[in-house]
């Protein structure tokens, strides 16, 4: 019997409920996927708490989950390149229903996966790896010989950023909390800064012999953007992709003017902007990212829960008790 985990009212993790799921049929250029795994993301917890920005909160009841992996059960007209029985991974919009046995996903956001890749591993890839790849390659101009400072480097996006940046030949500086220093080192970081006991703004110039880094990837914002601007090398770029510490602080007229002669830039990155506006390019990058997984470049660190324990997965994610990615097994 098809089923899903649903949010029927806002609140703590305990509001998640298992319900029967009606299975929709795919329309033109859509694919019906029988999910075997779905990943947990912060956006799922934000929706559950009812804290989405104004106008972005989905109607309740709502099945969370914006990425997953499974087997194609049906294809709509013009879903070229896919057949029933294909093993696939996917990324979808809010409402894609990754916490359920079935999802209907537009073909550009679905990619085939090798038989050697477990569904749980594949489900951990789309959001985090695509976010990291897009920021590094499309926005940050990543290339061999350049350097990058990765904040929250022990998280899902941070882990993927470490792997991709090292693969591209970059020097990688990771910023993490004390208990995650060893993890960042194991994922390939060249230098690791414990932001609880060390000052990022002081250590980056020391590590880079005074030049600074070419790129920063920052999901924190708050006061950290100011120190990122200080840490950037000439022509460097700071990419913001989250607000864990709140909106960026500071007087941007003053802060940017201070670094005028370095010609720095500040970018913001919401992966769904890329997802929605350039589906063909997004799909092509998805194929590249999964090739990196297949060849062992990406090594997602996952913790798997049965879907019946989605409540516990949410609790641990919100408590900051995790490294890497949380995945729900849907079998």
Structure confidence by residue, pLDDT tens digits, 139-159: 999 999 999 999 999 988 999
Q: What is the pLDDT of residue 128?
A: 95
Strands of 84-201 (E only): list them.
Answer: 87-91, 102-106, 110-112, 147-151, 171-176, 191-194
Q: What sign has the CA pseudo-torsion 64, 136, 244, 326?
A: positive
For 299-316, what is the mean pLDDT? 96
Residue intervals of the chain classified under CATH 3.90.180.10 are 3-125+300-329
Check whether 23 has a pLDDT greater than 90.
yes
Check whether 138 has a pLDDT greater than 70.
yes
C-alpha 130/C-alpha 4 separation (Å) is: 25
| pLDDT mean across residues, the chain | 94
Assigned token pair, 161? 């950023």
Alpha carbon 14 to chain centroid, angstroms? 25
Summarize pLDDT for 25-68 with one digit per residue, the tens.
999 999 999 999 999 998 999 999 999 888 889 999 999 999 99
Strand pairing partners for 19?
Answer: 4
Containing 16, the helix (H) or strand (E) segment is strand 16-20
Strand pairing partners for 218?
Answer: 240
Closest by CA position to 195, among listed 212, 215, 219:
219
Q: What is the pLDDT of residue 242?
A: 84
Check whether 19 has a pLDDT greater than 80.
yes
What percent of the chain stands above pLDDT 70?
Answer: 99
Assigned token pair, 247? 């909106």
Domain 128-271 CATH superfamily: NAD(P)-binding Rossmann-like Domain (3.40.50.720)
pLDDT confidence band for 254 (50 / 70 / 90): confident
For 229-258, what is the mean pLDDT? 83
**Backbone φ, ψ for residue 102 (5° rounding):** -135, 140
Q: What is the pLDDT of residue 320?
A: 80
C-alpha 188/C-alpha 297 separation (Å) is: 11
Summarize pLDDT for 58-102 with one digit per residue, the tens.
999 999 999 999 999 999 999 999 999 999 999 999 999 999 999
For 239-248, what is the mean pLDDT? 79
Check whether 322 has a pLDDT greater than 70.
yes
3-125+300-329 CATH choice from 3.90.180.10, 3.20.20.70, 3.40.50.720, 1.10.3720.10? 3.90.180.10
Q: What is the pLDDT of residue 245?
A: 63
For 158-187, what is the mean pLDDT? 96
Q: What is the pLDDT of residue 53?
A: 82
Assigned token pair, 171? 């020097």
For 2-27, what is the mean pLDDT? 96
Cα angle value 102/104/109 (rounded, 5°) = 120
pTM: 0.93
Q: What sign has the CA pseudo-torsion 152, 155, 156, 158?
A: positive
C-alpha 324/C-alpha 299 separation (Å) is: 10
C-alpha 37/C-alpha 99 separation (Å) is: 8
Q: What is the pLDDT of residue 250?
A: 73
Residue intervals of the chain classified under CATH 3.40.50.720 are 128-271
């Amino acid at each position: 019997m098809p089923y899903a985990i649903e949010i029927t009212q806002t609140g703590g993790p305990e509001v998640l409920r298992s319900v029967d799921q009606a299975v929709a049929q795919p329309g033109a250029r859509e694919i019906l996927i029988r999910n075997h795994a779905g990943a947990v993301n912060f956006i799922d917890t934000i929706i559950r708490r009812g804290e989405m920005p104004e106008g972005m909160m989905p109607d309740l009841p709502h099945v969370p989950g914006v990425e997953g992996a499974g087997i194609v059960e049906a294809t709509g007209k013009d879903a070229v390149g896919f057949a029933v029985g294909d093993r696939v991974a996917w990324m979808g919009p809010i409402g894609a229903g990754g916490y359920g046995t079935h999802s209907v996903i537009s073909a550009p956001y679905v990619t085939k996966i090798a038989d050697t890749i477990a569904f749980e591993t594949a489900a951990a890839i789309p959001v985090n790896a695509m976010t990291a790849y897009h920021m590094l390659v499309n926005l940050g101009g990543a290339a061999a010989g350049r350097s990058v400072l990765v904040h929250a480097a022990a998280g899902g996006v941070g882990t993927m950023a470490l792997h991709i940046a090292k693969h591209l030949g970059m020097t990688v500086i990771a910023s993490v909390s004390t208990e995650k220093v060893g993890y960042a080192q194991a994922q390939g970081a060249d230098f690791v800064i414990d932001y609880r006991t060390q000052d990022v703004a002081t250590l980056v110039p020391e590590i880079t012999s005074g030049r600074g880094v070419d790129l920063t990837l920052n999901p924190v914002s708050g006061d950290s953007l100011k120190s990122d601007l200080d840490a950037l090398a000439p022509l460097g770029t700071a990419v913001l992709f989250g607000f864990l510490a709140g909106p960026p602080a500071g007087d941007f007229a003053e802060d940017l003017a201070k670094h005028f002669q370095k010609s720095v830039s500040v970018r913001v990155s919401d992966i769904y902007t890329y997802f929605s506006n350039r589906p063909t390019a997004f799909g092509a990058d998805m194929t590249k990212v999964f090739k990196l997984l297949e060849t062992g470049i990406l090594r997602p660190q996952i913790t798997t829960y049965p879907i019946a324990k989605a409540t516990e997965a949410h609790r641990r994610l919100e408590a900051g008790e995790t490294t890497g990615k949380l995945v729900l097994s849907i079998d």
